[in-house]
Structure 1
Amino acid sequence: MTRVLAVRSVFPPHRHRQSEITEALARFLPPGPDTALLRRVHDSVRVDSRHLALPLERYGPQNDFGTTNALFLETALRLGTLALELTLADAGLAPGELDLVMSTTVTGLATPSLEARLAARAGLRPDVRRVPLFGLGCAAGAAGVGHLHDHLAGRPGHAALLLSTELCSLTLQATDTSMANLVAGALFGDGAGALLAVGAGHPLHASAAGPEVVAARSRLYPGTEHLLGWDIGHWGMRMVLGRELPDLVGLHVAEEIESFLAAHDLKPADVDAWICHPGGPRILDALSGALGLPESAFAASRRSLAAVGNLSSASVLHILDGFQNAGPAPGSVGLMLGFGPGFASELVLLRW
């Protein structure tokens, strides 16, 4: 089976308390009901602090799509290179030993893609296989681990890396008072993560302490395409966020989780490590309620949300990083899950 060797999260240096971000965004709106609503939304999402790609004073309506995307490329390349280098160093692998790099982002556009741009500066082989992913949104972290697993099942001697780089703050629509934009401005933070894995035939497989990937599953929910995604235009990327999402997650995604676990003779109560994308407190509450789990089951997701906000696809890597540092007992079962545009869920079963 696929073995995770190392996982790392990195962040831009500009970290602010939620209250500071709230007041900065409030200055872009005229005084009145919209400002009061913004403050209520920011207070409700249980985020304490976030890292931002730019100093706080550089955000505002003066930043057009071209400006923010150029800043995305510059910052994402720097963070992505650092995440890749630290993860390889943790595993004791040289850059030239990587056979596949899969990169994911949904917060900026890059052609050539990010992994192509960092290949030479990071020392990757010219013949390294590359798989850039775009459009999977917050689900891409879990989906990427599943795709790494598929690759390594067919090439067990390979080493493969997933790189997630999300600079959500650069998609901010400063003067948009829609509920979707206010929620996005309250929830999302910036960061990058990398996960390194090897196949069963790789020399480092047997000696690594990371979890094995047992199985993965993807699921689309027909008729829900309109609930989550981007509205992309000359203004940049504007959040589409349906109010029905917590109910959808609580009903259909919970059923999918139970079905996936049952296929491996497991129940939700058997999972020791819930590596759940922290889409927001209402999502986590709906999921724990539907699965009959205590709030503490998603404590790691709640801690990640409070400390750094919703990192889109990089969130599950940040949460897994925390579990790895805690050192789960041998035999522990983990479930990585993410949700994204489609509407879709991605599930990955792990075992230490």
Structure 2
Amino acid sequence: MAPVETTAVTVEEVMRTQRAEGPATVLAIGTATPDNCVSQADYADYYFRVTKSEHLVDLKKKFKRMCDNSMIRKRYMHLTEDIIQENPNIGSFMAPSLDARQDILVAEIPKLGKAAAEKAIKEWGQPKSKITHLVFCTTSGVDMPGADYQLVKLLGLRPSVRRVMLYQQGCYAGGTVLRVAKDLAENNRGARVLVVCSEIIAMCFRGPSEAHIDSLIGQALFGDGAAAVIVGADPDVPMERPLFQLVSASQTIVPGTDGFIEGQLREVGLTFQLHKDVPLAISKNIESALVAAFDRLMRRRGSAWTVGAAPDAPMERPLCSSLSASQTIVPGTDGFIEGQLRELGLTFQLHKDVPLAISKNIESALVAAFAPLGINDWNSIFWVAHPGGPAILDMVEAEANLDKKRMHATRHVLSEYGNMSSACVLFILDGMRKRSAEEGQTTTGEGLDWGVLFGFGPGLTIETVVLHSVPITAP
């Protein structure tokens, strides 16, 4: 019998069959917060009482002014007065407390993440068995196996779900998780990626110190929250309803910002240092980050730029697409934002120039992202910016010449939840698509087609994700 002739399959052909046709798309969003809600107007009194620091009268007045100027109305926190009383070292400034903090966080971070994930899965409307990948992100609660493993058990996901665990990325990680999810969805045909950001500030809560005013900035801003999204390419319409397309993603380190935002994990917990020029550094680098993000994201057809293949299955309805994602380190910002985890908890160092460094780099990020699309009017795109604080948002608005309405969704999350680190930008996306529908806008991006998502954090690092909204159709 003569041998049967077969045609050899090339590696390239195999890879093509493994890849999706269209861009990664956000298919559902869910958010969750602890039950304990604190009013910003009363927080100075509460904070100095529970940390037994009411004798520091002048420092309390200074902290009250910080709270009043924060543009925050309320925040949610897992730490209650009873928990602090049961663990008094948590309320001290630099007392050994890592074990107590870890005991709380290792248990509660996956639980809060589960609450957000269940909402996203419910909106998605598909069985959990279709989830192929899990990306979990948190700043604290480090353990092995990690929060990703615990969430698989809490949700009852398949044990073969492919997991990515991201610890201690900081405030830019909302962009990081979308960049990772985009790569997973587009390079694994049929993949459905569950992304979860769960943040609880118990690792960096501590009492006041007259010698460390920068620590009070974090105490006035940070809150707890979790957000989850389902990401997949080639949505199965009408069974899946697309929200946003992830067009591109990038990351960069802002030049000259070493030490601007730093965190150290020590016996006292996680401490942060924030440089005063962080807002300026971010705003001055936004445009270059945008240029970099959009530089390689499109395919040219004739004279028109196209996002990618349109979904042709009848079971999914895209929400928005992500065309590109990028990350960059801002030059000259070493040490601008740093955190250290130690026995006293998580400490942060924020350089005074963090707002300046961010604002000065926003324009370059925008140009890099949108130049290939011929977009240079930053008011013609929708904005999802990490709300690191009012100074950062003010400087970014000024540097990019933005109308006040462009940052409405971002400022609303800052007001209602505070700075929830990596979870913030996903809260903003959720609020934006809901408000767009309520107001009768034509797209999930406030009636606009193109948008940008920015994450700012330790490094000083900027994450840039280019988004494409999806038309809103009647339910």
Alignment TM-score > 0.5, same fold: yes
Deviates more, 1:304-313 or 1:150-159: 150-159
Q: After superposition, what is the alpha-carbon deviation per residue over 1:22-81, rounded to whole angstroms, capped at 9, x for unaligned?
A: 212123323232222111111111111000012234336433221122111222121111
1:104-183 matches, cutoff 5 A:
104-177=137-210, 178-183=212-217
Report if aligned partners of 1:261, 1:268 keep a CA contact under 8 Å in 2: no
Q: After superposition, what is the alpha-carbon deviation per residue over 1:275-316, rounded to whole angstroms, capped at 9, x for unaligned?
A: 111010000000010001122211111111111101100000
CA distance in structure 1 between the partners assigned to 2:108 and 2:41 by the alignment: 24
Instruction: Assess, with a 3 A threshold, how the Cα gap between structure 1 residues 201 and 82 changes in structure 2: closer, same or farther.
Output: closer
State the 1:270 CA deviation. Answer: 5.1
CA distance in structure 2 between the partners assigned to 1:134 and 1:267 by the alignment: 35
Give the secondary structure class of the aligned counterpart of 1:245: coil
Alignment correspondent of 2:60: 35
State the 1:21 CA deviation. Answer: 2.3
CA distance in structure 1 between the partners assigned to 2:414 and 2:152 by the alignment: 31
Gap regions ≥5 residues in structure 2 = 1-22, 91-96, 243-310, 470-475
Is 1:103 aligned to residue 136 of structure 2? Answer: yes
Is 1:319 aligned to residue 395 of structure 2? Answer: no
Report if aligned partners of 1:169, 1:185 keep a CA contact under 8 Å in 2: no
State the 1:345 CA deviation. Answer: 0.4
Alignment correspondent of 2:78: 53
Given candidates 234, 246, 266, the residue that maps to 1:200 is 234
CA distance in structure 2 between the partners assigned to 1:59 and 1:19 by the alignment: 20
Gap regions ≥5 residues in structure 1 = none
Q: After superposition, what is the alpha-carbon deviation per residue over 1:71-108, rounded to whole angstroms, capped at 9, x for unaligned?
A: 11222121111111111110012222111100111133
CA distance in structure 1 between the partners assigned to 2:63 and 2:460 by the alignment: 26
CA distance in structure 1 between the partners assigned to 2:128 and 2:421 by the alignment: 26
CA distance in structure 2 between the partners assigned to 1:188 and 1:288 by the alignment: 22
CA distance in structure 1 between the partners assigned to 2:373 and 2:162 by the alignment: 32
CA distance in structure 2 between the partners assigned to 1:176 and 1:97 by the alignment: 50
Is 1:213 aligned to residue 326 of structure 2? Answer: no
Alignment correspondent of 1:273: 382
CA distance in structure 1 between the partners assigned to 2:109 and 2:400 by the alignment: 36
Alignment correspondent of 2:442: 329
CA distance in structure 2 between the partners assigned to 1:216 and 1:337 by the alignment: 10
Report if aligned partners of 2:25, 2:235 keep a CA contact under 8 Å in 1: no
AA paired with 1:243? Answer: K
Instruction: Assess, with a 3 A threshold, how the Cα gap between structure 1 residues 292 and 176 changes in structure 2: closer, same or farther.
Output: same
Alignment correspondent of 1:255: 364
CA distance in structure 1 between the partners assigned to 2:33 and 2:335 by the alignment: 31
CA distance in structure 1 between the partners assigned to 2:47 and 2:363 by the alignment: 35
Report if aligned partners of 1:77, 1:114 keep a CA contact under 8 Å in 2: yes
* Alignment: residue pair count: 352
Is 1:297 aligned to residue 397 of structure 2? Answer: no
AA paired with 2:320? Answer: P
Bigger relative contact order (CA 8 A; separation at least 6): 1
CA distance in structure 1 between the partners assigned to 2:182 and 2:379 by the alignment: 23
Report if aligned partners of 1:137, 1:229 keep a CA contact under 8 Å in 2: no
Instruction: Assess, with a 3 A threshold, how the Cα gap between structure 1 residues 209 and 202 changes in structure 2: closer, same or farther.
Output: closer
Alignment correspondent of 2:457: 340
AA paired with 2:89? Answer: Q
1:223-262 matches, cutoff 5 A:
223-262=332-371
**Structure with greater Cα Rg:** 2
CA distance in structure 1 between the partners assigned to 2:368 and 2:209 by the alignment: 40
State the 1:180 CA deviation. Answer: 1.9
CA distance in structure 1 between the partners assigned to 2:379 and 2:331 by the alignment: 29
User: Which structure is higher in helix share?
Assistant: 1
AA paired with 1:248? Answer: A
State the 1:156 CA deviation. Answer: 3.0
State the 1:202 CA deviation. Answer: 5.7
CA distance in structure 2 between the partners assigned to 1:98 and 1:291 by the alignment: 39
Report if aligned partners of 2:333, 2:357 keep a CA contact under 8 Å in 1: no
- What is the TM-score with the length of structure 2 in the denominator? 0.71
Alignment correspondent of 2:89: 62
Q: After superposition, what is the alpha-carbon deviation per residue over 1:99-135, rounded to whole angstroms, capped at 9, x for unaligned?
A: 1100111133232111111212211111111001123
Q: After superposition, what is the alpha-carbon deviation per residue over 1:214-244, rounded to whole angstroms, capped at 9, x for unaligned?
A: 1111111233230102133221111111110
Report if aligned partners of 2:362, 2:399 keep a CA contact under 8 Å in 1: no
CA distance in structure 2 between the partners assigned to 1:110 and 1:248 by the alignment: 33
Q: After superposition, what is the alpha-carbon deviation per residue over 1:118-176, rounded to whole angstroms, capped at 9, x for unaligned?
A: 21221111111100112321111111111111111211311001100000244212133
Instruction: Assess, with a 3 A threshold, how the Cα gap between structure 1 residues 211 and 40 changes in structure 2: closer, same or farther.
Output: same
CA distance in structure 1 between the partners assigned to 2:183 and 2:381 by the alignment: 24
Report if aligned partners of 1:285, 1:295 keep a CA contact under 8 Å in 2: no
Report if aligned partners of 1:47, 1:307 keep a CA contact under 8 Å in 2: yes
